[in-house]
Amino acid sequence: MTLKINNVSLNIKKETILRDISLELEAGKIYGLLGRNGAGKTSLLSLIASYRKATDGSITLDGKKVYEQDDVMQHINFLYNPKETSTENDKITEYIESGSLFRSDFDEAYAYRLLDTFDIDTDKSYSALSQGQQAAVNATLGLASLSKVTIFDEVTNGMDAPTRELFYGEVLEAANRAERIIILSTHIISEMEHLFDDIIMIHNGQVLLHEPTFELLEKGYTIAGKAEKVRTFTENKNVINVKFLGALQIDTVLGTITQEEMETAEDNHLDISPLKLQEMFISLTDKKKDGK
Ligand SMILES: Nc1ncnc2c1ncn2[C@@H]1O[C@H](COP(=O)(O)OP(=O)(O)OP(=O)(O)O)[C@@H](O)[C@H]1O
């Protein structure tokens, strides 16, 4: 199964929101969609879910156009947390029923197991739940839908840390249950980094990069130790971030490290560790660097 986004652009009024986006997403993968506020993530996801029509270009699932095609659209599920508090009086049980009514792949038993995991009282109405509990119900609807393309747009907003951890575990399980494309748009990068097979970064309405996470993280490293030693080591290197922790300096460097350099680091009691996705993201999307 392949979701193809072909040269998609979106203009709203006279503003260009998305410019010439081309991406190919494969079943069996979890995608992390990252971008600064206003980069265009939700706009792109709305196009995939047919909430909007692209100004140019097309989106296809297994070669079939998605926009306003019911037979294709029912396999694409877009979950987000509405900004307004819901006045929805339906009981959670009714929510699950309607979820399964419209989606042929919906697994009701799985949904109830998830709600139990999230400790949701299914006799309550949706509007009687707290913000974080509503987020857990939305997450459940997405996970249990088993939809071929399942999109979670900042769905963890409002969830507390233990609930987010439960959600991450369930995302991994849901990805193993069925061959599907899962897209997670988030700002909680450090917590979710381990979930992503691929990273897609959107910046100023364009694709900045689309790469397997492990390849991206092999593009650099962090080095920590006595400030003076670290400074000497990273002199003339592409340092994208410098942090201090007491007497310790931690530099994030883009580039590979040679065996010889590894030995020098060891001799100087410097610790080398993998690059952090969040630091790379901050550096790559630094507005000061692109003059914005
Ligand atoms: N209905 C609209 N009318 C005009 N401009 C819009 C509309 N919807 C979105 N935009 C603009 O499109 C740009 C992208 O917005 P979008 O919501 O896609 O960003 P985002 O990456 O999801 O941001 P965030 O991380 O803050 O949620 C922003 O500049 C926003 O102001």
Q: What is the mean pLDDT of each run of 10 residues along the chain (292 residues)?
A: 97 96 97 97 96 96 92 92 71 88 89 96 92 94 94 96 97 91 96 96 96 94 96 94 92 93 96 92 78 49
Report pLDDT for 82. Answer: 73
Pocket test for ligand 1, best of 14, 34, 43, 206 (most atoms within 8 A of CB): 43
The response to whether residue 40 sits with its C-beta less than 6 Å from ligand 1 reads yes
Where is the domain boundary, 189, 215, 241? Answer: 215
The residue whose C-alpha atom lies closest to atom 30 belonging to ligand 1 is 38
Report pLDDT for 9. Answer: 98
Which ligand 1 atom is at minimum distance from the Cα of 36?
25
The response to whether residue 203 sits with its C-beta less than 6 Å from ligand 1 reads no
The response to whether residue 38 sits with its C-beta less than 6 Å from ligand 1 reads yes
Report pLDDT for 287. Answer: 65
The response to whether residue 33 sits with its C-beta less than 6 Å from ligand 1 reads no
Ligand 1: distance of its center to the CA of 42 in Å? 7
Report pLDDT for 104. Answer: 84
Asked whether residue 141 falls in the same domain as residue 166, the answer is: yes
Which ligand 1 atom is at minimum distance from the Cα of 43?
18
Q: Which amino acid is at 32?
A: G
Q: Are strands 181-185 and 149-153 parallel, antiparallel or unpaired?
A: parallel
Query: Of the candidates 225, 235, 228, which has an alpha carbon nearest to the alpha carbon of residue 273?
Result: 225
Distance of alpha carbon 218 from alpha carbon 168, whole angstroms:
23
**Token pair recorded at residue 179:** 């061959």
Report pLDDT for 283. Answer: 86
Asked whether residue 170 falls in the same domain as residue 52, the answer is: yes
Domain-embedded: residue 227:
yes
Pocket test for ligand 1, best of 8, 12, 47, 287 (most atoms within 8 A of CB): 12
Asked whether residue 205 falls in the same domain as residue 226, the answer is: no
The residue whose C-alpha atom lies closest to atom 26 belonging to ligand 1 is 37
Q: Reduce the secondary structure of 88-147 to three states and give it as a string.
A: CCCEHHHHHHHHHHHCCCCCHHHHHHHHHHCCCCCCCEHHHCCHHHHHHHHHHHHHHHCC
| CATH number (domain holding residue 27) | 3.40.50.300
Ligand 1: distance of its center to the CA of 121 in Å? 34
| CATH number (domain holding residue 236) | 3.30.70.240
Domain-embedded: residue 288:
no
Ligand 1: distance of its center to the CA of 239 in Å? 31
Secondary structure of residue 161 in the 3-state scheme: helix
Domain-embedded: residue 286:
no
Asked whether residue 38 falls in the same domain as residue 149, the answer is: yes
Max distance between CA atoms of the chain, in angstroms, equals: 66
Report pLDDT for 87. Answer: 64
Asked whether residue 193 falls in the same domain as residue 268, the answer is: no
- Domain limits for position 144: 2-215
ipTM of the modeled complex: 0.97
The response to whether residue 39 sits with its C-beta less than 6 Å from ligand 1 reads yes
Asked whether residue 39 falls in the same domain as residue 143, the answer is: yes
Domain-embedded: residue 170:
yes
The residue whose C-alpha atom lies closest to atom 17 belonging to ligand 1 is 42
The response to whether residue 43 sits with its C-beta less than 6 Å from ligand 1 reads yes
**150 CB-near residues (< 8 Å, 6+ apart):** 77, 79, 142, 143, 174, 180, 181, 182, 183
The response to whether residue 37 sits with its C-beta less than 6 Å from ligand 1 reads yes
Report pLDDT for 10. Answer: 98
Total domains present in the chain:
2
Asked whether residue 158 falls in the same domain as residue 264, the answer is: no
